[in-house]
Amino acid sequence: MTPTVLMQVYVFILAGFVGYQVISRVPPLLHTPLMSATNAISGISLVGSLVAAGANYGPVSTALGFVAVTAATINVVGGFMITDRMLKMFRQDRKAKK
Amino acid sequence: MKDWFIQASYLTASVLFILSLRGLSSPDTARRGMNLGAIGMLIAVVGTLLQHEIVRFEWILAGLVLGSAIGAPMAIFMPMTAMPQRIAISHAFGALAATLVGIDKYYRHGAELGSATMAAVGFEVMFGSLTITGSFMAFAKLQELVRGAPITYPLQNASNLALFASTFGILLYLIFDPGNAHLFYAMACFGLAIGVLMVLPIGGADMPVVVSLLNSYAGLASAATGFALSNNVLLIAGALDGASGFLLSILMSRAMNRSFRNVLFGAFGGGAEAAVAGKTASGLAVRSTTVEDAAIQLAYARLVIVVPGYGMAVAQAQHQVRELAEQVEVRGGEVKYAIHPVAGRMPGHMNVLLAEANIPYDKLLDMDEINPQFANADVALVIGANDVVNPAARNDKSSPIYGMPILNADYAKQVIVLKRSMNPGFAGIENELFYNPKTALLFGDAKASLTKLVAEMKNA
């Protein structure tokens, strides 16, 4: 295993651990927004897709990249927007606030 | 200098992603958190566009515009009742992007790939392809394009396992011989087939587990992309997504009293087998009630606990539930909502629907919180829920759902069950609660029944 791969494994495991810790504090109330939020975040595949679509690697790569950029953008744009729309609906008791 | 800036943008994005998930620990901070996440995404994209490999922007721009043109209207106009489908299909898009990036990497380098990179690309394409079709199948089932009931055939588990084992075998082989392109594309096709076959035997009530699991797989595919491209932000975001889906799958399977191994290895067919087992209810009689009687019971109740289930979602009755609650509250009663973790078709399904109907979230209580309160409740109003209130889970060892944590609706002083017909729930198990002398059944579509109840209470 090269040092680079080893570092990547480190990063992956630590990120998974942080994720587990952070997400175990999300109340069941917000589990659906959590799913759509992680979905939007996993649209980060956009970063890889952009390179495939924008580098001059030939028509096949450009085509694959273009479809990948489109699919990832649907998740990023749609995911963040719909999560916000859902979260907007969660409100506390009016009487309690008064 | 430029590389430094790119790395800094990725680090910033990773931190913002973690903060955005941290925000979701409370509804008060959640929206601000999501804005941080969106800013993180923007920073990561801008950082990436600075990479020297990127020389032409026309296709990037086209993809961004087309993706936004599809994604934004979907987010704005999608009714909340369609949320399970929308979540399921979005996993397919994420996985599609990851898979295509992996195929592109293989297409360009093929035999030159080192074994570590080949392993990463292989995992990426395998997880990605099975998530694409798996999510699409889940979407089709939720949208009712495909029959929602489990589709089973002989030797299903054995053949699925064999297919999975051979796909994994190909992946291992490719690590040692990355040049074999036919095998690589065969692996991708096998992955697509696994996704379909994996979801076929799954019935509606098991969907929360499957949707969470696919969420996790989509994340793992992204993380594998990170390994393949040596890109830390992909690794981190993928790991966060994978961890989230993994945790949700555990929570969901625990709420259904399934072992996690049982879930991982796709033995979801349990529902179909369960249909044969279970108690039959011959010789027992149910008591049906009228709208008038039920309205009187509710009008005099001091504490009403509503137990919503998938039936409420199907009938889209959440707004009528709120109107009914208002009628109870006008008379000085209190209404609380008991939310079972697997009520509905995805984690948190009931919460989103009730929040949409303007019900304050502090009245939506989790199972552990609400269960001790049932004994004080004058009426437990069960709306389209079945297995999650079946006392057999508590006291009938022969029942297939024995051991599943349930809502103690039967501890309430009176139980009113809104039900379309006497058909048993998804698992095909008779529900003792319906034969309890305290229970009265109000037959009919949940929305219609609730509308009549509200009208009756207004007049009373």
Cβ of A38 within 8 Å of Cβ of B44? The answer is no
Greatest alpha-carbon span in chain B: 81
Check whether A97 has a pLDDT greater than 80.
no
Using N-to-C axis directions, what is the helix angle for A31-42 and B27-49, rounded to 10°?
A: 10
3-state secondary structure of B440: strand
State how far the alpha carbon of B400 is from the alpha carbons of B157, B186, B382, B388, B392, in Å. 19, 39, 22, 13, 9
pLDDT at site B392: 86
Cα–Cα distance, B324 to B350 (Å, whole number): 17
Cβ of B24 within 8 Å of Cβ of A34? The answer is yes
As a dihedral over the C-alpha atoms of residue B58, residue B60, residue B63, residue B65, rounded to 10 degrees, the angle is -70
Least confident of B2-6, B269-273, B348-352, B389-393: B269-273
Residue among B179, B182, B184 at smallest CA distance from B111? B179
CA distance B420 to chain A (A): 27
Residue among B182, B199, B95, B188 at smallest CA distance from B139? B199
Least confident of A66-80, B10-24, B419-433: B419-433
Question: How would residue B278 be classed by pLDDT, with cut points 50, 70 and 90?
Answer: very low
B22-68 tens-digit pLDDT: 999 999 999 999 999 999 999 999 999 998 888 889 999 999 999 99
Residue among B178, B454, B246, B434 at smallest CA distance from A34? B246
Burial of residue B66 (CB within 10 Å: 0-12, 13-18, 19+) is middle
Cα–Cα distance, B312 to A19 (Å, whole number): 33
Cβ of B60 within 8 Å of Cβ of A46? The answer is no
Comparison of pLDDT for B422 and B154, the residue scoring more: B154
B294-306 tens-digit pLDDT: 999 999 999 999 9
Report how many Cβ contacts below 8 Å link chain A to chain B: 366
Reading the block at residue B427, the tokens are 């698992």
Stretch A59-71: mean pLDDT: 94
CA distance A65 to chain B (A): 7
- Chain-centre distance of CA B182, in angstroms? 35
B404-452 tens-digit pLDDT: 899 999 999 999 999 887 765 555 667 888 888 899 999 888 999 999 9
Cα–Cα distance, B379 to B298 (Å, whole number): 7
Question: How would residue B284 be classed by pLDDT, with cut points 50, 70 and 90?
Answer: low
pLDDT at site B29: 92
Residue A59: list chain B partners with CB under 8 A.
none
Reading the block at residue B193, the tokens are 């087939």
> Do B357 and B318 touch, CB atoms closer than 8 A?
yes
- Chain-centre distance of CA B205, in angstroms? 10
User: Which residues of B are tagged catalytic?
Assistant: 387
Q: Element (H or E) spanning B380, and its range?
A: strand B379-383
Amino acid residing at B296: I
Least confident of A4-13, B223-232, B389-398: B389-398
State how far the alpha carbon of B230 is from the alpha carbons of A4, A47, B290, in Å. 8, 12, 66
Question: How would residue B276 be classed by pLDDT, with cut points 50, 70 and 90?
Answer: very low
Stretch B151-162: mean pLDDT: 81
Residue % of chain B over a pLDDT of 70: 92
Reading the block at residue B22, the tokens are 């941290």
Cβ of B239 within 8 Å of Cβ of A25? The answer is no
Cα–Cα distance, B356 to B322 (Å, whole number): 10
Residue B78: list chain A partners with CB under 8 A.
82
Cβ of A47 within 8 Å of Cβ of B30? The answer is no
ipTM over 0.90: yes
Cα–Cα distance, B16 to B394 (Å, whole number): 44
pLDDT at site B312: 92
Q: Find where tokens 């087309």 sit.
A: B66
Reading the block at residue B415, the tokens are 């139980």
The dihedral region occupied by B431, where left means phi > 0, alpha psi between -120 and 50, and beta the remainder, is: beta
pLDDT at site B271: 43
B319-355 tens-digit pLDDT: 999 999 999 999 999 999 999 998 888 889 999 999 9
Check whether B160 has a pLDDT greater than 90.
no
> Do B90 and A39 touch, CB atoms closer than 8 A?
yes
Check whether A29 has a pLDDT greater than 80.
yes
pTM of the entire predicted model: 0.89
Residue B67: list chain A partners with CB under 8 A.
69-74, 76-77
Stretch B182-201: mean pLDDT: 91
Instruction: Please calculate the CA angle A87-B88-B213 and round it to the nearest 5 degrees.
Output: 100
3-state secondary structure of B47: helix
Check whether B149 has a pLDDT greater than 90.
no
pLDDT at site B156: 78
Q: Please, what is the average pLDDT of chain B?
A: 87
B443 C-beta neighbours (distance < 10 Å), count: 14
CA distance A18 to chain B (A): 8
Least confident of B80-84, B363-367, B423-427, B444-448: B423-427
Q: Element (H or E) spanning B83, and its range?
A: helix B83-109
Q: What are phi and psi of B363, to 5 degrees?
A: -95, -5
Q: Of the candidates B74, B90, B116, which has its C-beta nearest A2's C-beta?
A: B116
Strand partners, B442: B418
Check whether B201 has a pLDDT greater than 50.
yes
CA distance B370 to chain A (A): 13
List the single residue in A with minimal CA-CA distance to B218. Answer: A42
Check whether B218 has a pLDDT greater than 80.
yes
B88-137 tens-digit pLDDT: 999 999 999 999 999 999 999 888 888 889 999 999 999 999 999 999 99
CA atoms within 13 A on the CB side of B66: 13
Residue B179: partners with Cβ closer than 8 Å, 6 or more residues away: B110, B111
Residue B74: list chain A partners with CB under 8 A.
74, 78, 82
pLDDT at site B272: 39
